[in-house]
């Protein structure tokens, strides 16, 4: 019998992960993904800069009028083929009630911003542990909407040539839509798909419904995006299919937050644990 042969394991160390370096990387990632108390000055600056950037990019998208009108015509024909082309009837029906359509004009122009900011403030004060993740949903939703504006320019119903839609802001001379009257040159009129009025209002509604304690407040949360859908159609600013685009963008926003935090934002701890005691993210009840 010969002597046993020993095979050197050269390169074995390189094949195995180094626990000394892997552990700090994992800890850094856990720190980034862990809830932390938001800082007021930073959040105000972040929201302001983000909205300014969103407006700048949205309005910088080329106003491809011919393509936007062709897309609007295609959307309108598709809805007719589905038997769901209801926008014109809703637009005319609501426009016949002056006080109602005027109220909707102001609703369209103001609540989109007011309610969204109010929900952000409420999250900041009452749910600091969930604030960053829920804000990420909103930001990711808005970011992917910008891609939609660039790839699919779409004219709103009120701008369709030969159509019988009523531009309610113009007719009733109300202050409101950035795409009508004297303000129309400050906003891209052919960025109707997806509807961020729906994306943002549904984000607000789901957040309030998931986290509010009072039943009537939770019901209001669900009614808000529903009312917004009626408003965007009645004022002829969107097709109902634009709302579907907004819902898809919001689903993408939730997916981004789910991947980053490992759970839905509403399942994160409500309060931020003291510094030095932050561990892995665990679902918790409100």
pLDDT > 90 fraction of the chain, expressed in percent and rounded: 59
Average pLDDT over residues 50-78: 83
Higher-confidence residue of 269 and 18: namely: 269
> What's the gap between Cα 142 and its chain centre?
5
What does the pLDDT read at residue 211?
96
What does the pLDDT read at residue 190?
87
Q: DSSP assignment, residue 83?
A: T
Number of other CB atoms surrounding residue 212 within 10 Å: 17
What does the pLDDT read at residue 161?
86
Residue 35 has pLDDT above 90, yes or no: no
Name the pTM for this structure: 0.81
What does the pLDDT read at residue 66?
87
HEC string of 166-229 equals: CCHHHHHCCCCCCCCHHHHHHCCCCECCCCHHHHHHHHHHHHHHHHCCCHHHHHHHHHHHHHHH
* Contacts of 246 by beta carbon, 8 Å cutoff, 6+ apart: 145, 194, 195, 196, 197, 198, 199, 202
Higher-confidence residue of 109 and 23: namely: 109
What does the pLDDT read at residue 12?
46
Whether 240 contacts 91, CB under 8 Å: no
- Tokens 């939703």 sit at which residue? 141
Average pLDDT over residues 172-178: 69
Residue 15 has pLDDT above 60, yes or no: no
Residue 215 has pLDDT above 80, yes or no: yes
* Contacts of 128 by beta carbon, 8 Å cutoff, 6+ apart: 35, 37, 38, 270, 271, 272
What does the pLDDT read at residue 51?
78
Positive or negative: CA dihedral 101, 113, 59, 156: negative
* Contacts of 47 by beta carbon, 8 Å cutoff, 6+ apart: 117, 120
Average pLDDT over residues 259-270: 91
Could you tell me which residues are beta bridge partners of residue 154? 191
Residue 279 has pLDDT above 60, yes or no: no
Average pLDDT over residues 44-55: 80
Average pLDDT over residues 86-105: 95
In 3-state terms the chain splits into helix, strand, coil percentages (rounded to 5) of 70, 0, 30
Q: Mean pLDDT over all residues of the chain?
A: 83
What does the pLDDT read at residue 5?
52
What does the pLDDT read at residue 49?
84
Lowest mean pLDDT among 65-69, 104-108, 201-205, 281-285: 281-285
Residue 164 has pLDDT above 90, yes or no: no
Longest dimension (CA), the chain: 106
Structure tokens at 132: 């960053």
């Amino acid at each position: 019998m010969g002597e046993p042969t020993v095979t050197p394991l050269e390169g074995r160390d390189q094949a195995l992960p180094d626990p000394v370096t892997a552990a700090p990387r994992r800890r850094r990632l856990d720190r980034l993904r862990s809830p932390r108390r938001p800082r007021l000055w930073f959040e105000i600056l972040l929201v302001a800069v983000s909205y300014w950037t969103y407006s700048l990019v949205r309005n910088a998208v080329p106003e491809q009028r011919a393509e936007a009108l062709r897309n609007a015509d295609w959307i309108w024909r598709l809805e007719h083929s589905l038997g769901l082309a209801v926008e014109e009837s809703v637009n005319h029906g609501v426009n016949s009630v002056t006080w109602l359509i005027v109220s909707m004009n102001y609703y369209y122009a103001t609540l989109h911003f007011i309610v969204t900011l109010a929900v952000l403030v409420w999250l900041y004060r009452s749910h600091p542990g969930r604030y960053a993740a829920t804000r990420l949903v909103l930001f990711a939703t808005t970011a992917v909407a910008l891609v939609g504006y660039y790839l699919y320019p779409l004219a709103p119903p009120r701008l369709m040539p030969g159509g019988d839609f009523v531009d309610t802001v113009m007719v009733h001379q109300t202050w409101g839509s950035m795409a009508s009257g004297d303000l129309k040159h400050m906003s891209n009129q052919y960025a109707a798909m997806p509807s961020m009025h729906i994306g943002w209002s549904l984000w607000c509604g789901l957040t309030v419904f998931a986290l509010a304690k009072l039943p009537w407040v939770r019901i209001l949360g669900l009614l808000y995006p529903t009312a917004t859908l009626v408003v965007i159609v009645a004022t002829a600013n969107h097709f109902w299919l634009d709302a579907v685009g907004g819902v898809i963008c919001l689903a993408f926003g939730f997916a981004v937050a789910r991947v980053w935090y490992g759970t839905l934002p509403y399942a994160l701890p409500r309060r931020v644990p003291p510094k030095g005691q932050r561990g892995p993210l665990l679902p918790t009840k409100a």
